């Protein structure tokens, strides 16, 4: 869940930076002065108010971003690391280039890297020294081009069902009596 607070009614929201492709881009106005003309925004539709980071179709207006698990290219020792891509979209929508992004719970620096990737300035605080060391290293790796990141907007891998891990374990095919032997 992302909570978005602003200090006043004057805030940045770059809608075009985070539009999602329309499900029916060929839709047209069926009445009124624009009858027959395309009705959708060519840049895509607004993201929905609920951004579920779960396996949902991109064309339903959801952001489909896998969380950072063992085989994710960004995985470090941090147990609850954010995907950089998730923060990147917030950075794109809610700040302008050159703005400061501050993450008071910076962990291993995912938000800071997201900000730097998008031409913003970044500042963070973190209480665990080990995480700070990793965050610094990740930022250095980002600047040297050595940091592995999951590209923004990359489709989530869909298993075909033929992979070994997609099959029930052989022992599950046994009867309960055989399993208890």
Q: Does 129 bind ligand SAM (CB under 6 A)?
A: no
With b meaning 16 or more CB within 10 Å and e meaning fewer, what string describes 62-75? bbbbbebeeeeebe
Q: Which range binds ligand SAM by CB under 6 A, 23-31, 46-54, 73-81, 89-97? A: 73-81
Q: Does 120 bind ligand SAM (CB under 6 A)?
A: no
Least Cβ distance, residue 107 to ligand SAM (angstroms): 2
Q: Which range binds ligand SAM by CB under 6 A, 8-16, 28-36, 51-59, 122-130? A: 122-130
Single out the residue of 58, 125, 59, 60 nearest to residue 85, CA to CA.
58
DSSP structure class, residue 66: -
Tokens of 89: 């979209």
DSSP structure class, residue 140: H
Q: Whose Cβ is closer to ligand SAM: residue 19's or residue 94's?
A: 94
Q: Which of 1, 77, 80, 155 binds ligand SAM (CB under 6 A)?
A: 80
Q: Does 127 bind ligand SAM (CB under 6 A)?
A: yes
H helical segments located in 12-128: 84-94, 110-117
What's CA 88's distance to the chain center, in Å? 7
Q: Which of 105, 123, 146, 148 binds ligand SAM (CB under 6 A)?
A: 105
Q: Which of 78, 117, 120, 138 binds ligand SAM (CB under 6 A)?
A: 78
Single out the residue of 77, 85, 78 nearest to residue 53, CA to CA.
85
Q: Does 149 bind ligand SAM (CB under 6 A)?
A: no
What's CA 162's distance to the chain center, in Å? 27
**Residues contributing to the site for ligand SAM (CB under 6 A):** 78, 80-82, 105, 107-108, 110-111, 125-128, 131
């Amino acid at each position: 869940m992302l909570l978005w607070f602003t200090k006043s009614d004057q805030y940045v929201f770059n809608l075009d930076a985070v539009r999602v492709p329309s499900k029916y881009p060929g839709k047209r106005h069926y009445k009124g002065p624009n009858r027959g003309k395309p009705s959708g925004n060519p840049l895509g539709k607004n993201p929905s108010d609920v951004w579920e980071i779960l396996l949902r179709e991109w064309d339903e207006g959801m952001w489909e971003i896998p969380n950072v698990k063992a085989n994710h290219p960004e995985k470090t020792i941090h147990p609850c690391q954010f995907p950089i891509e998730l923060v990147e979209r917030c950075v794109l929508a809610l700040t302008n280039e050159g703005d400061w992004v501050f993450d008071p719970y910076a962990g291993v620096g995912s938000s800071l890297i997201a900000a730097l990737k998008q031409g913003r300035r970044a500042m963070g605080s973190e209480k665990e020294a080990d995480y700070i060391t990793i965050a610094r290293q990740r930022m250095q790796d980002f600047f040297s081009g050595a940091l592995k990141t999951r590209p923004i907007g990359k489709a989530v891998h869909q298993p075909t069902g033929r992979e070994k891990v997609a099959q029930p374990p052989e022992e599950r095919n046994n009867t309960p009596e055989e399993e208890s032997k």
